[in-house]
A and B are shown apart, each in its own frame.
Chain A
Amino acid sequence: MYEGLSSPNIHTPHNMAEYSSIITHYPSSTLWAGGTFIMTRPDAYPSKVMNAEVIYLGEIEELHRFQRNDRFAEFGAMVTLDEVMSAGKAVLPKVLTDNIMEIGSKLITRRATIGGAICTKELTTSFPGTLVALDANVEVRIIKKKRLHSRWLQLTRLLDRNGTIVLPPQSMISRVRIAFSDKNCQFFRSVGALMTSPEDSMAVAFTASLDQDVLNNPTIAFTYPNHGILYSRDIDNVFSSLRFPLDEREFRSLEMIIFTFIDSTFQELSPLQKVRTRGVLRALVDELNEKTLTMPSQM
């Protein structure tokens, strides 16, 4: 069936120089990392686009590299989520490993790549939100005047006003750098199936250092797969201004402030997403309250 249709041309560069020359010749080509996003689209096959060009990144050795030192871990964009887990389970921030565990079966994490998870047009995992909460940096490779340039950027800088990650045209993410975190409060929750029912699911990634009853450097990112990532310094500042444990009245006012931000960014959240966000916020505050009350006091 469909064999008469035109078959996409697959380019398999073996290094970045080859990639650069292919992308210069075919600027509108589709980049193929693990394929978990592309293959799950309803129109993945047969391809509606005639004479489609696909660049398969799996053969570029540079994109499979993983290195770490005492400050950060650096992953090539083609490192799979399963490899991320096996390479750095002991050293990577808990929020990141929790997120990968939450994604599910190894049948998925063995194919999904770290670069692909960030660059997909629609969010299929909560992974980019967690990287935002961890203040990860990404290396963006961009073609300018037929030459490949490289630039390290904070992932938060690639987020637009609508919460989607926007890359410049003809660019790709080649490496992701995650700093080892000494934050003692790391929280990740994902509710619903982000891949198969994006309209009902959501995820929250939170990191902070809890010092007695205040949070230092809190960062929180909400992921709504059908809308985008909600990250705001203002929400982080709200968390820094709190003194834990919070009572019911304080929790309600925090919830109200956060929902004001959420509603101003994403107007059409489904009722289920709102209920789930409330539940996850409650779980986060409960955990922070518990941590504050059980933390040994410093003399």
Chain B
Amino acid sequence: MKIDCSIDGRTLTLSLNSNKPLSLILSENIGDGSAVNHCKGQMCGLCAVLVDGKPMLSCMVPAFEIRGKEIITFEGFQKTRGMKDIEKAYEMVGAAPCPDCYESKTMIFESLISDGVSEPDEILKELSIIRCHCLDPEDAVKIVLKGIDIRRKRRVRRS
């Protein structure tokens, strides 16, 4: 099956099995180093990517569903200004996710920051998909709030 999609800003035409999970497409077909091993639906939460701006577990997205979609992986995201905002937030709060879940948590933080989610319960619920408890819940909320603040200030400066 031929599938057209955009991964990290590159428009690609891929020849794939129609039900191949996106997590495997990224690691095997694209050679994305940040893509983690395929957990086979155990919901480890470590394979989050942004599909049309929304975070999704890439192991749950089949190839046929990515047709025409814009996918941003951590590898692509770390070159953007958005990543700098999140790194700055990590630095200001004095806490950051551990290397195991860094990519996935950062992608979820990005979606929360860009949606302006400031409700602590909602933030923690969204992060609850990742089983790694390296980050204190209070710090996780602070990171999102700080990230929203940094992004707002950057936008004001630009305008």
Contacts and interface: CB of A to CB of B under 8 A. Distances in A.
Interface of A: 1-3, 5, 7-10, 32, 35-36, 39-42, 44-47, 54, 56, 58, 101, 104-108, 110-111, 195-196
12 contacts: A10-B64, A35-B61, A39-B21, A40-B43, A44-B21, A54-B18, A58-B65, A104-B125, A104-B128, A108-B57, A110-B54, A111-B60
B45 A35 contact: no
Contact of A35 (B18, B65, B126): B65
A9 B1 CA distance: 9
A197 to B, nearest CB: 10
Q: Is the interface of A mostly helix, strand, loop or mixed?
A: loop
Interface string B40-75: 111101001000001111011110110000000000
Contacts of B48: 107
Interface of B: 1, 16-21, 24, 28, 40-43, 45, 48, 54-57, 59-62, 64-65, 108, 125-129
Nearest to A32: B62
Residue with the highest number of chain A CB atoms closer than 10 Å, among B17, B48, B59, B127: B17
B113 to A, nearest CB: 15
B60 A36 contact: yes
A105 B125 contact: yes
B18 A46 contact: no
A44 B18 CA distance: 12
Contact of B19 (A8, A104, A108): A8
B129 A40 contact: no
A3 B126 contact: no
Contact of B42 (A5, A7, A8, A196): A196
A3 to B, nearest CB: 6
